[in-house]
């Protein structure tokens, strides 16, 4: 009877250890696939939020006349390992205890080793990314794709065929020429009516050409917009093709010259629109905020300040004892930040 009990006990110990070993092996097999969805989402969200906050932080730094600093995440490598060991021991009876012994043991180790590589932007990369003006072709291609001209071109264009946009920087501060604001609205209406478009022209070098699509079927309002655009930009009435070029002075009457800004200039323009504490103005830490918005258009961005951390923000950073943030319900400001990110 005693032998039967010992045999049953040993058999039970063997079953338990086998089950533990199977569970451990199963978890080792499945650890990889289960982490993909979680890691991809978590790291993607963290990088996206960090980029927004870094952009806001550098805009605020520029407002206080400090040089921007950008650090990019160039790679993320995450390694997981799950190791385990199950120990099983059996002992026969001895003269001292007259009883059999059984031992079951297990050990496990889980490790998560992320490797994140950061790349500070400096030197030639800094000049290429932040100091090079955006090409007119890229901007008008975005407008053609559906981005609102009132936001995109106001943010990135300094002047169009001599018609000046608003400037927030204290060195050249001014409101926009009323014709510039009306040009952007007209451009949007013509795009929506499919009366204006872009075409890539092949010659000695590729270039973008603005094309007017004339038709007798257009309503009178579209015809008026076409006439206004031609008249304001001083284009020939009988020409349908108008090359887009960067600069201030055009080479021929049918050319549309666009003076565009660099990313650093765009950030500086946003910086002088930041709402800052009055005490910082009184102490001479920075200059006055640009609030001279042209009639009929909304501010490009609203960056607020507060002593306490905001509860519902699109992006928020803490600097000089205050929180600077963009409200998550401010669609215009969010769209402006998206434009800067896309054109960067």
Residue 302, pLDDT score: 94
Task: Look at residue 142 in the predicted model and tell me its pLDDT.
Answer: 86
Helix (H) or strand (E) run with residue 132 in it: none
Q: CA–CA separation, 38 vs 30, rounded Å?
A: 14
pLDDT of residue 19: 56
Q: What would the pLDDT profile of 133-160 be if each residue is shown by its tens digit?
A: 998 888 888 888 888 888 889 999 999 9
**Domain assignment present for 107:** no
* Domain residue limits at 193: 133-261
The per-residue pLDDT for 329 is 95
Domain count, the chain: 1
Assign 43 a pLDDT band (cuts: 50, 70, 90). confident
Residue 194 resides in a domain: yes
Pick the more confident residue, 117 or 52.
52
- How is residue 54 annotated by DSSP? H
Q: Dihedral angle at the C-alpha atoms of 239, 241, 244, 245, nearest 10 degrees?
A: -60
% of the chain with per-residue pLDDT over 70: 73
User: Looking at residue 201, what is its pLDDT?
Assistant: 67
Task: Give, as one character, the DSSP assignment of residue 310.
Answer: P
Residue pointed to by tokens 């930009």: 233
Q: Per the domain annotation, does 150 fall within a domain?
A: yes
Task: Check whether 90 has a pLDDT greater than 70.
Answer: no
Answer whether residue 208 is part of any domain.
yes
Whether the Cβ atoms of residue 326 and residue 41 lie closer than 8 Å to each other: no
Asked whether residue 27 is domain-assigned, the answer is no
Highest-pLDDT range among 84-88, 95-99, 195-199, 266-270 = 266-270
Q: Please check whether residue 124 lies inside any domain of the structure.
A: no
Q: What is the pLDDT of residues 165-190, one digit of tens each?
A: 999 988 888 889 999 999 999 998 98
Per-position DSSP letters for 67-98, written without gaps between them: ----EEEEEEEEEEEEEEEEEEEEE---TTT-
256-260 vs 163-164, strand pairing mode: unpaired
Between 264 and 198, whose confidence is greater? 264
For the ranges 5-14, 197-206, 300-309, the one whose mean pLDDT is highest: 300-309
Please tell me the predicted confidence (pLDDT) of residue 327: 96
* pLDDT tens, residue by residue, 66-79: 988 888 887 777 76
At 93 the pLDDT is 52
- Domain membership of residue 166 (yes or no) is yes
Decide if 324 is inside a domain: no
Could you give the CA distance from residue 253 to residue 234 in angstroms, rounded to a whole number? Answer: 7
């Amino acid at each position: 009877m005693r032998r039967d009990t010992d045999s049953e006990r040993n058999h039970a110990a063997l079953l338990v250890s086998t089950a533990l070993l199977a569970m451990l092996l199963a978890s080792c097999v499945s650890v990889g696939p289960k982490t993909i969805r979680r890691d991809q989402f978590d790291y993607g969200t963290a990088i996206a939020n960090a980029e927004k906050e870094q952009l806001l932080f550098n805009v605020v730094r520029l407002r206080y006349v400090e040089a921007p600093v950008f650090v990019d995440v160039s790679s993320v490598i995450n390694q997981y390992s799950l190791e385990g060991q199950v120990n099983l021991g059996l002992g026969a009876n001895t003269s001292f205890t007259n009883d059999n012994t059984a031992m079951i043991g297990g050990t496990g180790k889980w490790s998560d080793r992320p490797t994140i590589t950061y790349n500070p932007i400096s030197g030639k990369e800094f000049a290429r990314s932040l100091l090079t003006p955006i090409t007119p072709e890229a901007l008008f291609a975005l407008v053609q794709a559906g981005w609102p001209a009132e936001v995109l071109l106001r943010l990135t264009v300094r002047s169009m065929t001599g018609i000046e946009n608003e400037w927030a920087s204290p060195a050249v501060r001014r409101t926009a020429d009323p014709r510039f604001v009306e040009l952007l609205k007209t451009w949007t209406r013509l795009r929506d009516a499919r009366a204006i478009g872009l075409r890539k022209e092949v010659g000695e070098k590729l270039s973008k050409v603005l094309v007017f699509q004339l038709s007798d079927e257009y309503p009178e309002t579209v015809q008026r917009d076409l006439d206004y655009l031609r008249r304001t930009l001083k284009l020939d009435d009988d020409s349908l093709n108008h090359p887009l070029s960067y600069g201030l002075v055009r080479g021929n009457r049918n050319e549309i010259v666009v003076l565009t800004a660099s990313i650093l200039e765009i950030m500086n323009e946003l910086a002088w629109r930041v709402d800052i504490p009055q005490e910082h103005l009184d102490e001479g830490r920075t200059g006055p905020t640009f609030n001279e918005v042209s009639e009929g258009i909304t501010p490009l961005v609203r960056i607020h300040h507060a002593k306490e951390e905001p509860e519902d923000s699109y992006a928020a950073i803490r600097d000089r004892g205050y929180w600077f943030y963009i409200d998550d319900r401010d669609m215009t400001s969010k769209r402006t930040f998206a434009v800067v990110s896309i054109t960067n």
